[in-house]
Structure 1
Amino acid sequence: MNVYSDLGSQEARVVAVNLSEKKGERKRPISWGQLRVDHGLVGDAHAGNWHRQVSLLAEESIAKMQRLGLDVAAGDFAENLTTKGIDLVALPIGTRLSIGDALVEVTQIGKECHTRCAIYQQAGDCVMPKEGIFVRVVTAGKVESGSPVIIL
């Protein structure tokens, strides 16, 4: 199984680090973030000692929604890390990733969307419930745009 997208010699990487201080808000890009063990992204409202500490969504998934005519970008799907060059949903639960200085472990693929978000209302669909993944932080570290994402 090839979990890397066809990017030629380009490696998988983080293209945006996003956070929101309150739940229910769109996440905004920040220049860098700190992932903390048993917590997640420092300063993010969704962080905590549970299995969904950090959320990831591929830039390729966001592009699907843009092709439907939506004006969306990194963070608009409430993902903490926007990635490029890796097929996130192909990663089995338990897969460990090195992201920047941090080590994380995949804990969940997708999620149930209990309430239809604004994106679903606009497009009749949303990629985060099907294509977003969640990880827990195993080793703390700094992440920023351009940080490599390496499958261990």
Structure 2
Amino acid sequence: MDIGQVIAVAIDDKHRFSKRPVEKIRVLTGLGVEGDAHSGVTVKHRSRVRADPSQPNLRQVHLIHAELLDELADQGFDVDPADLGENITTRGVDLLGLPRGTVLKLGADVELEVTGLRNPCSQIDTFQPGLLKTVLGKGPNGELVRKTGVMTIVLKGGVVAPGDAVVVELPVPPLIPLGVG
């Protein structure tokens, strides 16, 4: 069981690339972050809505690890929490290494189930040129590694704020690696 920490939370009621950091967010069971453009039972990501608006929303809450922001800073990029569109920025949890179905317990009440990796799109280079190539790495076997966090659904709602603990509960084996969520 890993224990990490929430370092920032963010929201945006419009479909913009970056979100706005706030003091706390309210997470709603089965929906996502209250007032966020991606909250809902069915998909809200525009490309997925065009493909099939009745698809279930497996991208209700987006999390990114602060260690990615550190890595980007070391490479000369200026990226703060919420800049890449995440709702929750964590530290101390290997989000990318989690299997599908992992439950993240945040603060006193919130439970999120990890559904997949976030697939960074070309908009990231509009935010800062060259950033897309940096957040896409290569694994030991030459496979593409997406570094821009994980997508989750809300199992149990509540309030999340910076300083809250993040507790990781792995699913029952067999563990299934994350694919694009």
Matches within 5 A, 1:1-16: 4=2, 11-16=3-8
- Rounded to whole Å, the distance in 1 between the matches of 2:5 and 2:99 is 19
Question: Cα RMSD (Å) of the superposition?
Answer: 2.1
Shift of 1:19: 1.0
Shift of 1:21: 1.6
1:68-102 deviation line (CA, Å, top 9, x unaligned): 21221000010100000010011000011101120
Closer/same/farther in 2, CA of residues 121 and 37 from structure 1, 3 Å limit: same
Listed as ranges, the gaps of 5+ residues in structure 2 are 42-56, 137-144, 170-181
Listed as ranges, the gaps of 5+ residues in structure 1 are 5-10
Q: Which has the larger radius of gyration?
A: 2
- Rounded to whole Å, the distance in 2 between the matches of 1:13 and 1:124 is 26
SS for the counterpart of 2:21 is strand
Shift of 1:147: 0.7
Superposition TM-score, scaled by structure 1 size: 0.85
| Identity score, percent | 33
Moved more, 38-47 or 53-62: 38-47
Shift of 1:25: 4.0
Matches within 5 A, 1:9-88: 11-49=3-41, 50-88=57-95
SS for the counterpart of 1:12 is strand
- Rounded to whole Å, the distance in 2 between the matches of 1:84 and 1:145 is 11
Shift of 1:126: 4.8
Partner of 1:130: 146
Partner of 2:101: 94
Closer/same/farther in 2, CA of residues 60 and 16 from structure 1, 3 Å limit: same
- The answer as to whether partners of 2:17 and 2:123 remain within 8 angstroms in 1 is no
